[in-house]
Amino acid sequence: MSDQDSNDPKALAGASKAMLAAIAFNSDGLVPAIAQQADSGEVLMLAWMNREAVEETLETGYAHYYSRSRASLWRKGESSGQTQALLDFRVDCDGDTVLLLVNQKGVACHTGRHNCFFRAPRDGKDLTEIHPVLVDTAKLYGKGSDGS
């Protein structure tokens, strides 16, 4: 890991203005955000952020997204406890995607798997579930929750 790969949480907290200026939000005011486990490199999930989610993530040090189904700010783990502590926040060449390096507590996927990308071709025709369920979702979410 080079010095350029390292980060300082204080540097993230003060960078909301610069980050918001660098992001090209789409016509819905959203940008796709990839969450990657910082130490292993595992791609955990993709979600969407609006301006408020970017600010809250940088300022609190925990991943916040915009829930398109609920049309509201979503603090990852607010009901499940499966939070994502922020280690770095990067924006791509065109400003239309962001990459969050995080430390995932528990599991990222609402199905109880560590990451969301668990279906892949393995038998020459159909998709196979390649990652196991690690946590019973009934234990993750209270009645009436939609899995955050």
Q: How many residues bind a copy of itself (CB under 8 A)?
A: 52
> Taking CB under 8 A as the rule, does residue 136 contact a copy of itself?
no
Q: Between residues 7 and 83, which has the closer beta carbon with respect to a copy of itself?
A: 7
Residue whose C-alpha is closest to residue 68's, from 111, 29, 22? 29
Site for a copy of itself in 26-55 (CB under 8 A): 32, 34, 36, 40-43, 45-46
**Any residues with CB less than 8 A from the CB of 5 and at least 6 apart, and which?**
none
Cα distances (Å, whole numbers) of residue 90 to 2, 54, 55, 128: 16, 11, 13, 32
Query: Would you count residue 109 as binding a copy of itself (CB under 8 A)?
Result: yes
Would you count residue 93 as binding a copy of itself (CB under 8 A)? yes
Q: Which residues contact 132 (CB under 8 A, 6 or more apart)?
A: 113
CB 35 within 8 Å of CB 47: yes
The minimum distance between CB 148 and a copy of itself, in angstroms, equals 13
Residue nearer to a copy of itself on the CB measure, 94 or 136: 94
The first and second tokens of residue 74, run together, are: 């979503």
Given 10, 71, 138, 139, the residue binding a copy of itself (CB under 8 A): 10
Is there a contact between 114 and 107 (Cβ–Cβ < 8 Å)?
yes
125 binds a copy of itself (CB under 8 A): yes
Under 8 Å between Cβ of 42 and 114: yes
Binding site for a copy of itself (CB under 8 A): 4-5, 7-8, 10-12, 14-15, 17-19, 22, 32, 34, 36, 40-43, 45-46, 58, 88-94, 97-99, 109-111, 113, 116-128, 130-131
